[in-house]
Each structure stands twice: as structure tokens, then as C-alpha cells.
Amino acid sequence: MKPLLELLSEEMGKAFEAAGYAPELGRVTVSNRPDLCEYQCNGAMAGAKQYHKAPMIIAGEAAEALKDHSIFAEVCVAAPGFLNLKLSESCVADYLNGMRTAEKFGFEPAGGVKKIIIDYGGPNVAKPLHVGHLRSAVIGESIKRICRYAGHEVIGDIHMGDWGLQMGLIIYELSLRKPKLPYFDDEFAGEYPHEAPFTISELEEIYPSASAKSKEDADYKQKAMEATQRLQSGVRGYRALWKHIIAVSIADLKKNYDELDVSFDLWKGESDVHELIPVMVEEMKKGGYAYLSDGALVVDVKEESDTKEVPPCILLKSDGAALYNTTDLATIKDRMAQYQPDMIIYLTDKRQDLYFEQVFRCARKTGLVQPETELVHISFGTVNGKDGKPFKTREGGVMRLETLIREIKEEMFRKIMEGHAESEEEARATADIVGLSAIKYGDLSNQASKDYIFDVDRFTSFEGDTGPYILYTIVRIKSILTKYTEGGKTLAGHRLSEAKSESEKALMLALAGFNAMIAGAVEELAPHRVCAYIYDLSNAFNRFYHETKILTETNEKTQGGWIALLMLTKDVLEACIELLGFAAPERM
């Protein structure tokens, strides 16, 4: 189905054409004066110059051409040349009845199917997830779902940090704590134990303690760097130990991401492209791109139009070690070879803006990607506390993601228990579902690039622009539908009828905007567009609900039309929250 705005613009275009003007002037937009009209067309003003005529005259002629049109209930000309429009009730009802039976409510993706890799999550192995990792996971997951909805072939890759100095730090620290382990015995030729020599909690304690020591003790750091080097060069015991670290970490990461309902198709990491680096570096040298500068191997990526300095990409340090960007470039090479994506999307915080600019330029310049391959960095702002500073625990430490999720769910549980006398068990289960919406919606409703304040109290509120408010609306609809069927009636077979009140029409128009909204969200890779839409839609529904006695209506046809309207509202809301990565409970 065509988006409603497109249909309206077509009809308006025909009217302009009939009056002797270019059809492009008939572009219709949602009204910015909802008190006056539902839609508007400003084409007469745009045409005035071109046709040397007063806009009022052009608008009048276009309006005249629309006189007997069944789509518009009202076409008014207003100074200095606006066309103010109201849709006929029947046109809106027909459109929505079409949406109800069409797949994806009639949304038809534009353009062809793209193969897209989304690189998100990006946890660092053996380091606990903290609040900074929340956004990459939550926004990435939603963008993945939105792109899939648009019909694209999408591969989500977690791209773990599993290869750098943090590995050497852990291994070296372990060699001090448990020197008897066979992994540190170069003579050992037997099979290493299957069981890891540490638990996740030990691992999470080892890393920060090793990291702290290395900052104070140059010798310690040197030893950790040597351990990293030994690991990367393939020393058997180190590799075996590293595999344990990865396995223990992944099990824990999976638990965390499951809790967030975030999932990945690929669990690859920096280590996966280790072997590709020498080949890639050779090619870059041969191509004349990479050269030695102060002992390091670099590729220039600055461009004439740069207004700020863009430093070269360092491929290898003077000691021959590869860097973060070296693995990223090799990963691009690997992805192109294995998947031939049309687009790769990265999600990290905005401190990596310049970094990705360098990596993308280097990848283009050295021919790692095709000219038409799109490389996109979606960078997001910081999660702040109420004091406007990066979110911390009460004690001032880094907030672990687990803790944050627990706090939200606890608060949600408290609020749910306050509300009704449900069983504690049911309230817990509901709090888990609603709590997730609070976290995700709280994040996604902001434009990604902006910082936001993580406000537990506001995010868990049932009122205002929050996840729980949206879920509350869905649950309210579900409960009306249940009561309706409890009266012995069935949900099937109803059709929406013409709106009988202003609030009903407003709800219907909000629903009709679904297609255009999704198209925009896909185009801009912007989950916040979906949030803004469902917030407006929920408001429109709740206004209609408060003004309408649905269950006591005695005219069966009128009531049936409302049931169809409720079902469509619920289905659209549920499809949208699915794109955001959460779901609604049955009750709350």
C-alpha cells in the first residue's frame, strides 16, 4: 500500500495539473496547525514565482479542481496561499481496513534488498559489561530489527574485544597466582584440562587487579605485553588458557544479553582476523598506501577538504604490534570476502567518531571495500546520572549493567505491587517484562547522538513518554478485547467504520501514518522515530478511550467498528515495540 501522504500528494498533484500547474506542487504534508486542518499543501506558494501568479489564485484553482473529490471532506484556501485539508471519514476507514489485511500493514520497502552487517555490542572479554555497553546493544538490536522489517538481509556481529593487552594482563596475573598450572609449563605436551582454572567472578576480579598493577609497575606491564605477544604468536598453553577465558566470558555475556533480549548471529571477535593482518599489511605496502613513519607503518587518510586534523591510520607500531584499527581493517577485509555486504553499520559511542572516520577512509583508499559499499558509524552519546555526569553507582564506581537492570526491575516491581494486589510471583514476572521496556524505551526514545539522563523514577513511570506507558496502553486494549469476548462475542469479522468523533478520527489518522513513519525510521536508521510515533499513537488511543464507552455500546455495528480499530491499534503498537526490542505482558 502506498503511504497515505503519497496517495494524498498524488491526488493533489492531479488537481494542480488539471488547473494547469506542475503536479509536483501538490505535495501534501501533515498539518502543522492541527487546530485548523489535518493535512496541508503549500504548493501554491512555491508555484507563485514560477507562474507569476498570486498564490491565493493558484490555490483557489487547485481547490476548485478538487471540488467533487471523495478523498477530501474539506479543502480550504487560507492566506497567503495554503491549502488546508481534511480527509473524508470514508477514505480514512477504507485505508485502515486495507492496512488491517495487508502484510506489515501495507508497508512496502523502497529499493532493493541489501545485505547489511551490524557490528554492535562490542564487549571486551573478561571485563564486566557496564552501562556504556547498554546503548550499543540496545540501539544495535533495534536497528537490526528495523532493517529486517524493511526486508534487508541482516547479520548481527558482536565483535568482541578478545585479543589485546587485557588478555596478556589476565594471563600474566594468573601465572603469578597459579604458576603450577600446566599452561605455563613450556615442556607440557599432554592434553590441557577441559575445565577452566577460574570462574567468571574470579576472572572479573583478576582483570581489574592486573590492570591496576600494570599502571603502577612498568615491569609488570612489560611482562603482560610479553604474555600478549606470546599468546598472539601462538604459544600452545597460552592459547589454551585464552580459550578458557573466552568460553567462560561468553557464557556470562550470553546471560546478560539474553536478559536484554539482544541476540547476535555471529560471535566473532578481534582474534578471528589475526591471521589476515600480515597479508593485508603486505597488500597495503605493495599498493603504495602504507609507508614507514618514525618506525611505525602508517596510511595517510587526510583529505584536502578537512577542517580538522585527521591523523594517519597506524597499521603497525614500531615494535610490529597491530592496533585496534588494524583489526578493524582486517575485519572489513574478512567481511567483504565472506559476506559481500552492501553496508556495514557500527555502533559505538561518539568518542570513536574520528577513529571510524580514519578506518573508513583507509578502507576506501586501499580498496578493502567497493566504492558502493556503505560504511556507516552510528555514534551515540553518554548515559548520564541525574547530576548530568556519566552514570555511576551510589558509591561512585562504574555502574555494571547487571546492577542497573536489577535496580530498574526492582523499582518496577515496587510500583506494580503498589498498584494492584497481584501475587508477588506474577508481579515479579511482569516487572521483568515492563522493566525491560523502561530501560530500552528510555534509551531509544532519544536521538542516538544525544546524551541522556538515566532516570530510574521517570523511566519506570506509567505516565509520560515511557516504555511502561506504552505497555500500559497495549494491556488496556487487550483487556477491553478480552472483556468483549467474555460477553460471548467474537473478535473476527469486524471492519472499521467511519469515525464518529474527533478523537476517533485523530486515532485513525495516527494509525494511517504508520507506513511513512517506518519508511523514515529505515531510511534514517532511527529507532527514536518509532518511539515518537507510538507515543503519539498511545496518546491518541487513550484520548479516544476516555471519550468513548466501547463495552456498553448497544449498536453492534458501531461497537464492531471500534473493536476493529482497537485490534489494529494493538497490532501496530505491538509490531513497533517488537522493532524496539521488547514485548507487552498480558496484564499489569
Whose Cβ is closer to ligand ARG: residue 328's or residue 411's? 328
Residue 292: phi, psi to the nearest 5? -85, 135
**What is the nearest approach in angstroms of ligand ARG to the Cβ of residue 115?**
18
Whose Cβ is closer to ligand ARG: residue 9's or residue 228's? 228
Look up residue 434 and give its three cell numbers: 515492563
Whose Cβ is closer to ligand ARG: residue 72's or residue 346's? 346
**What is the nearest approach in angstroms of ligand ARG to the Cβ of residue 442?**
22
Does 494 interact with ligand ARG (rule: CB under 6 A)?
A: no
HSE-CB of 203 using CA atoms within 13 angstroms = 25
HSE-CB of 49 using CA atoms within 13 angstroms = 3
Does 272 interact with ligand ARG (rule: CB under 6 A)?
A: no
Q: Which of 161, 513, 581, 585 binds ligand ARG (CB under 6 A)?
A: 161
Whose Cβ is closer to ligand ARG: residue 124's or residue 466's? 124
**What is the nearest approach in angstroms of ligand ARG to the Cβ of residue 267?**
14
Whose Cβ is closer to ligand ARG: residue 124's or residue 228's? 124
- Which of the residues 131 through 160 are near ligand ARG (CB under 6 A)? 159
DSSP state string for 461-498 = -SSSSSHHHHHHHHHHHHHHHHHHHHTT--STT-----
Whose Cβ is closer to ligand ARG: residue 252's or residue 328's? 328
Q: CA nearest 562: which of 480, 445, 450, 448?
A: 480
80 prior amide bond cis, ω within 30: yes
Give how many residues touch ligand ARG by CB under 6 A. Answer: 8
Query: Is 52 exposed, middle or buried (CB count within 10 Å of its CB: 0-12, 13-18, 19+)?
Result: exposed
Distance CA 82, CA 49 (A): 15
**What is the nearest approach in angstroms of ligand ARG to the Cβ of residue 119?**
5
Amino acid at 422: E
DSSP state string for 137-174 = HHHHHHHHHHHHHTT-EEEEE--BB-SSHHHHHHHHHH
Query: Cα 300 vs. chain centroid, distance in angstroms?
Result: 33
CA diameter of the chain: 94
Closest residue to ligand ARG in the complex (CB)? 122
Residue linked to cell 607503518: 297
Query: Cα 403 vs. chain centroid, distance in angstroms?
Result: 22
Residue 89 · residue 97 · CB < 8 Å: no
**What is the nearest approach in angstroms of ligand ARG to the Cβ of residue 275?**
18
Whose Cβ is closer to ligand ARG: residue 83's or residue 329's? 329
Residue 6 · residue 29 · CB < 8 Å: no
Distance CA 253, CA 141 (A): 15
Q: CA nearest 428: which of 439, 441, 412, 443?
A: 412
**What is the nearest approach in angstroms of ligand ARG to the Cβ of residue 405?**
19
Whose Cβ is closer to ligand ARG: residue 85's or residue 134's? 134
**What is the nearest approach in angstroms of ligand ARG to the Cβ of residue 531?**
24
- Which of the residues 298 through 337 are near ligand ARG (CB under 6 A)? 328
**What is the nearest approach in angstroms of ligand ARG to the Cβ of residue 161?**
4
Residue 378 · residue 118 · CB < 8 Å: no
Q: CA nearest 47: which of 63, 23, 30?
A: 23
Whose Cβ is closer to ligand ARG: residue 348's or residue 473's? 348
- Which of the residues 96 through 135 are near ligand ARG (CB under 6 A)? 119, 122, 124
Does 411 interact with ligand ARG (rule: CB under 6 A)?
A: no
Whose Cβ is closer to ligand ARG: residue 474's or residue 525's? 525
Distance CA 309, CA 354 (A): 10
Does 348 interact with ligand ARG (rule: CB under 6 A)?
A: yes
Alpha helices in 260-323 (DSSP H): 276-286
For residue 65, the tally of other CB atoms under 10 A from its CB is 19
Altogether, the residues listed in the chain come to a count of 588
Residue linked to cell 471519514: 89
Does 346 interact with ligand ARG (rule: CB under 6 A)?
A: yes
Whose Cβ is closer to ligand ARG: residue 124's or residue 232's? 124
The site for ligand ARG (CB under 6 A) is made up of 119, 122, 124, 159, 161, 328, 346, 348
